[in-house]
């Protein structure tokens, strides 16, 4: 998209086509729990998804700000650690928007 101002055309930056996702993987024996944090598709909220080992679907929570999402993640991590889970890995990845 271009905008005409003082006779010059300039291009507006295109919206990001990728989203950064933070992923924590916890392990206990043969089971794993994966927590992912990133913006939702329209950038209106932070989305925290947890893939529990025995659940048929992921749990998903939305937050208005990053600090609230990180506090919730910390609470989940504390619960997991208290139950004997270990942090196996952390990664930050850019994924295409869906």
pLDDT tens readout for residues 18-45: 788 999 999 999 999 999 999 988 889 9
The pLDDT value given to residue 6: 53
| Count of domains observed in the chain | 1
The pLDDT value given to residue 37: 96
CA 35-54-30 angle, 5° bins: 80
Q: Which domain holds residue 19?
A: 2-96
Residues of the chain under the 70 pLDDT cut: 1-16, 98
């Amino acid at each position: 998209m271009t905008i005409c101002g003082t006779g010059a055309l300039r291009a507006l930056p295109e919206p990001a086509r990728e989203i950064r996702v933070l992923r924590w993987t916890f392990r206990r024996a043969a089971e794993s729990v994966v927590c992912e944090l990133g913006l939702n598709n329209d950038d209106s909220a932070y989305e925290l998804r947890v893939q529990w080992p025995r659940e048929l679907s992921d749990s998903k929570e939305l937050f208005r700000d990053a600090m609230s999402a990180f506090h919730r993640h910390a609470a989940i991590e504390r619960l997991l650690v208290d139950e004997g889970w270990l942090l196996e890995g952390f990664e930050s990845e850019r994924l295409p928007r869906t």
